């Protein structure tokens, strides 16, 4: 457990990025389905917008990280 905590402290940017990526991908996959559970009209639209934005963020994030990795390997 101590090693895990020190590892998280050492690589906190990487773990934060991982959390953000997983969250955005979760919203991209499930966001539209949440609008089916919403009881108010605002949330029908909000979840649909969040779903679309998370798909766009996933694609742009993937392109950004792919370019960053490509530059690092030169």
* Confidence band, pLDDT 50/70/90 cuts, at residue 60: confident
Segment 8-35, tens digit of pLDDT: 788 888 888 888 888 888 887 776 677 6
Torsion angle in degrees (nearest 10) through CA of 39, 43, 45, 48: -100
| Contact call for residues 7 and 44 (beta carbons, < 8 A) | no
Q: Cα–Cα distance between 47 and 34 in angstroms, integer?
A: 6
- Is the pTM of the predicted complex or chain greater than 0.85? no
Angle, nearest 10°, between helix axes 41-72 and 12-37?
150
């Amino acid at each position: 457990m101590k090693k895990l905590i020190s590892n998280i402290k050492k690589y906190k940017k990487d773990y934060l990025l991982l959390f953000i990526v997983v969250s955005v991908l979760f919203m991209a996959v499930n966001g539209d389905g949440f609008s089916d559970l919403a009881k108010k009209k605002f949330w029908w639209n909000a979840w649909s917008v969040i779903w679309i934005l998370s798909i766009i963020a996933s694609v742009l994030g993937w392109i950004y990280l792919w370019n960053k990795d490509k530059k690092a390997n030169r």
